Amino acid sequence: MKSIKLLAASLTLLAPLAFAEVAVVVHPSNNDTLTSADISRIYLGKLKSFPGGSPVVPLDLKEGSDIRSQFVDKVLNKSESQLKAYWSKLVFSGQGQPPKVVENAEVLGLIAANPNMIGFMDAAAVDASVKVVARF
């Protein structure tokens, strides 16, 4: 009985982590409106600039991150392995390079310092140094 209570308590504590909201963020000066299709195209290397014309530099998180897994599933409509295969094909054929991979803690600082960057993060960690353009 004690082990069941411990398991239930553990699952209750971990549940919010599994359902964290993903926020897509840009520099506060960026006034472009982005659809989920735009965001997907940026992260798949099909769109190289924001709708306003300025170049876009997407930031990615390390493979295996919960936030990244949710982003890949909800926004890119792919599994982690499908995304890896997608980028392997483009890199091998010389048709593209995947987004720059950074640590979770770096996203805020990099985007706050560069108006051309776009990234995604746990919505709970967003502050006034960036602007949220989408939530998933």
For residues 136 and 114, give the distance between their C-alpha atoms in angstroms, rounded to a whole number: 23
Q: Residue 64: CB partners within 8 Å, gap ≥ 6?
A: 80
CATH number of 20-135: 3.40.50.620, 3.40.190.10, 3.90.1170.50, 3.40.50.300?
Answer: 3.40.190.10
Strands 117-122 and 57-61: parallel
pLDDT tens digit sequence for 42-97? 999 999 999 999 999 999 999 989 999 999 999 999 999 999 999 999 999 999 99
The confidence score (pLDDT) of residue 20 equals 85
pLDDT higher than 70, residue 12: no
For residues 30 and 112, give the distance between their C-alpha atoms in angstroms, rounded to a whole number: 11
pLDDT higher than 80, residue 15: no
Residue 57's DSSP bridge partners are 117
Average pLDDT over residues 5-13: 47
